[in-house]
A and B are shown apart, each in its own frame.
Chain A
Amino acid sequence: MRSTRDVGEEEAGAGMGHYSDPPLLVLASLAGGPKHGHAMIEDIAGMCGTRLGPGTLYGAIARLEQLGWIEPLPAEERRRPYRITSAGLRVLGAKLATLQQFAQAGLGRLETS
Chain B
Amino acid sequence: MNPRLARWLTRLYPPAWRERYGEEFETLLETGPSDLRTLANSVRSAVHEHIFPTQGGNMDQSPNSFSAMIKRPSAFLPVAMSLIALTMVLTTLTIGLAHTGGVIVRDPDEGATAHLFQLLMTVQMPIALFFAVKWLRRAPAPSLGVLALQAGAWLAACAPIHFLHL
User: Is the CB–CB distance between B24 and A66 below 8 Å?
Assistant: no
Among A38, A41, A61, A67, the residue within 8 A (CB) of B21 is A61
Chief secondary structure at chain B's binding surface: helix
Among A53, A63, A67, A78, the residue within 8 A (CB) of B27 is A78
Determine how close the nearest CB of chain B comes to the CB of A76; give it in whole angstroms. Answer: 10
User: Is the CB–CB distance between B55 and A53 below 8 Å?
Assistant: no
Q: Mark contacts of B4-30 with chain A using CB atoms, 8 A cut-off: 1 yes-contact digit, 0 otherwise.
A: 000000000000010011011111110
Determine how close the nearest CB of chain B comes to the CB of A35; give it in whole angstroms. Answer: 12
Cα–Cα distance between A36 and B55 once the two chains are bound (Å): 20
Chief secondary structure at chain A's binding surface: helix
With both beta carbons as reference points, the residue of chain B lying nearest to A36 in the complex is identified as B24
Interface positions, chain B 99-158, Cβ under 8 Å from A, are: none
Among A36, A56, A67, A79, the residue within 8 A (CB) of B45 is A56
Among A41, A53, A61, A78, the residue within 8 A (CB) of B42 is A53
User: Is the CB–CB distance between A62 and B24 below 8 Å?
Assistant: no
Tell yes or no: B69 within 8 A of A by CB: no
Q: Would A53 and B21 be within 8 Å (CB), given that A38-B28, A78-B27 are in contact?
A: no
Segment touching A, from B46-54, B79-87, B88-96: B46-54
In this complex, the member of A41, A58, A59, A61 whose beta carbon has the largest number of chain B beta carbons within 10 angstroms is: A58
User: Is the CB–CB distance between A62 and B21 below 8 Å?
Assistant: yes
Tell yes or no: B38 within 8 A of A by CB: yes
Residues of chain A contacted by B40 (CB below 8 angstroms) = 53
User: Is the CB–CB distance between B32 and A67 below 8 Å?
Assistant: no
User: Is the CB–CB distance between B41 and A55 below 8 Å?
Assistant: yes
Tell yes or no: A1 within 8 A of B by CB: no
Tell yes or no: A34 within 8 A of B by CB: no
Tell yes or no: A93 within 8 A of B by CB: no
B residues near A (Cβ < 8 Å) are 17, 20-21, 23-29, 31-32, 37-38, 40-46, 48-49, 54-55, 57, 59-60
A residues near B (Cβ < 8 Å) are 36-38, 41, 53-59, 61-63, 66-67, 75, 77-80
**Could you give 13 example pairs across A and B, Cβ below 8 Å?**
A37-B25, A53-B38, A53-B45, A54-B28, A54-B41, A55-B44, A55-B45, A55-B48, A58-B28, A62-B55, A66-B59, A78-B24, A78-B27
